[in-house]
Amino acid sequence: MDRSQIIFTFLAVTILSGCKSYYIPVDHFRSHFANVDKDHLRIAKTRGPAGIITEYEANQIDTIKCTTKNGKEIVLRNGPSIETRITTADGKRTILYFDRLYASNDTLIGYRSRILGLPKRIPMTEIIKVEVQDGNKNYHYVEGGK
């Protein structure tokens, strides 16, 4: 194996192992957001890949209880690079940042982007699958944030 093959193999293994998906049972997910509404958000400050600090409203959830595909329970620390894939009854999948999720009545509200402030609304009753993963994006909370 030459040097370029070793580097490629290392990068491929790192990328593939760094994006593990975990699952949150739908009922647990729904109950998790029962008390996370617009009135209970905080101001988070993150530094992105370009070094720019962004402020936005975020939920106050510190940890996320999930399971692996084999059913093993794990706890994932919430952060600005945690992505949530929501699958609805019609088969549509929506990716939202976990720290930007909150509920209003029976509707989950979240954001696909840190820059564009357009919320995505999903009725809780239509959610059939919830997956989370650390997208390994270069976003980090900074002082004054979480």
User: What percentage of the chain reaches a pLDDT higher than 90?
Assistant: 64
Show the beta-strand stretches assigned E in 17-142: 22-23, 42-47, 53-58, 63-67, 73-77, 82-88, 93-97, 102-104, 107-111, 119-123, 127-134, 140-141
What's the rounded mean pLDDT across residues 91-115?
Answer: 93
Tokens of 40: 């209970």
Per-residue pLDDT, 35: 84
Question: Distance (Å, rounded) from C-alpha 131 to C-alpha 110?
Answer: 14
What is the pTM (predicted TM-score) of this model?
A: 0.81
